[in-house]
Structure 1
Amino acid sequence: MCSACQMSEYTLSPLERHPMARTRKHEATSREQPATDSRALILDAAAGLFSTFGYAGTGLRQIADEVGIRPASVYHHFESKERILEEILRTGLTQTLQCTRGAVEVLPPEANPRDRVEAAIAGHLRGIHENLTYTSTNLRFHGQMPPDVGKRLRPLRENYSDYWRTLLDSARRHGWLHPDLDVSMLRALILGGLNRTVVWFDRGKGPIEPLIRTSILAFSGIWTKERSQNLERKPPTRSRKQRT
């Protein structure tokens, strides 16, 4: 499992799990942080603000105030608000891809196509909800993204889409998917449905496992064969979150 998905849900209180709760600590803590951490603090604060108020509704002064630095200091690390947004979106996309791939890669060699797709569903959900301030900025305010940012991030988005296409195409070739399914539509339905959970699922009110089980069951009708019996998936190692 990727390091982005290894932070235990029990290391934070329910209040601290809220996207804005952690960013509100920045002003109090940033003065104690070395200069090398300022870039990370700016990104964390901006991600929380963008997630709450949107890209258009957040200014550089708000970001600076959240971190506890002067607005001019932000430009020492980023040339514009657009570059901050790009870095946040790139981080969120990368972490989600890493978590999804990681969930599939830990499966044993005998795992079948259904096992791999269902593991990818679990990995995707963990990725977007355990890095919520970054991923929700991407998923909730995609329409506010400046065109240049979207263009620069397109290869990364296409890489992730291709990964899912490969998983589903393999399942279809081996006879695991219902023959009447359109794989492109199925991929869009899976990712669209999973991504939408950032709007209504509150991680602070309970663990993510019921959401994962429900999501997997919701797509159980696409399969022509049963999943592997007694397939042992390696549990994720729990540790403090490390930036990737």
Structure 2
Amino acid sequence: MRHIERHKTHRIGWLRAAVLGANDGIVSTASLVLGVAAAGAASKDILIAGVAALVAGAMSMAAGEYVSVSSQADTETADLERERKELAADPAHEHDELRDIYIARGLDAELAAAVATQLMAHDALGAHGRDELGISDALAARPVQAALSSAATFAIGAVLPLLVVFLFPVHWLMWSVAISALLFLALLGSVAAYAGGASVTVAAARVTFWGALAMALTAGVGALFGVAA
């Protein structure tokens, strides 16, 4: 029988990294631009600060994602290796563990034992990794993919407010950057929600709220430094 359902869980890994990168690129760069502009900086200085933020932020996102996801991957590998040794040392006990998991999920004892037997005969480590440890192909850690996705999407997100800085005169900069950044964030939230099968309205509202808060606080700090200067 052909399986025609289309689920979204296989997108979780790259989608999380991509949304995080793009959101951070828009919010951090737009906030920095607003803070520097509020302090009274010239258009050229604002653009230089924004470009520096793009490069630093993209590299920071890549390094942070790679390190954090690599740690997750190391933990998963260590757990699977421990499970492999336990399967070799005491397969009967491991069978009983798997059987009890299926009983807890609603199968009767006889059926649960039969399922555990068949799955272990097919792929014992895969069955235990998936059902005992919660490690699956869809959710497995992929450090390089996460790092590249985050860096690339951060750069794309950061370029958007920089284009506004380049196109608009300095006396229009604060409003144009703020409004365009909120529009970009709403679009990002909507696209991410659509790709993940979630509520577009909720996602768009969530990212625009936090983006607006970040930009307002940063602009306030910049204005205070501008007055102090």
TM-score by length of 1: 0.29
- The structure richer in helix per residue is 2
Larger Rg: 2
Q: Which of 1 and 2 has higher RCO (CA within 8 Å, sep 6+)?
A: 2
